[in-house]
Amino acid sequence: MSESQKMTKSQKRPKHVPERTCIACREKRPKWELVRVVGTAQGGLEIDPRGRKAGRGAYLCKRQECWEIGLKGKRLQHALRSEIVSEQRAELIAYSKALPKLVEETEISH
């Protein structure tokens, strides 16, 4: 066995980190830094912080600014391929009010 083969076997491969794109700011981030909004088969919307629920999903950053952009236009509707009724929009706006206006870069990178 050559020296280069020994080194590659002893080195560990870096862990794969799934990335997703925020529909508002279009930034790619690790999946765990984003919040997933899921369109269910029954026509409802759910917030999926763990990113595991079944259904078509769209990702938004954990910033109020991104939620405002995503809800203001039709970006979220387009990503989910469904209409958003006023009650659902009100629930999402209420959720976004609890988020910070800006997230510090030090908070994002652990």
Kindly report the CATH number assigned to the domain that includes residue 82.
3.30.1230.10
Rounded to an integer, the average pLDDT of 51-63 is 93
CA dist 19 and 77 (Å) reads: 21
**Domain annotation covers residue 62:** yes
**CA 23 to chain CA mean position, Å:** 8
**Domain annotation covers residue 55:** yes
**Domain annotation covers residue 24:** yes
Instruction: Note the pLDDT of residue 22.
Output: 97
Query: How many residues make up the chain in this entry?
Result: 110
**Domain annotation covers residue 3:** no
Tell me the pLDDT of the chain averaged across its residues.
Answer: 86
Beta-ladder partners of 61: 34
Residue 80: give the domain boundaries: 18-100
Percentage of the residues of the chain whose pLDDT score is greater than 90: 66
**Domain annotation covers residue 11:** no
pLDDT in tens, 72-110: 989 999 999 999 999 999 999 999 999 888 755 545 544
Domain total for the chain?
1
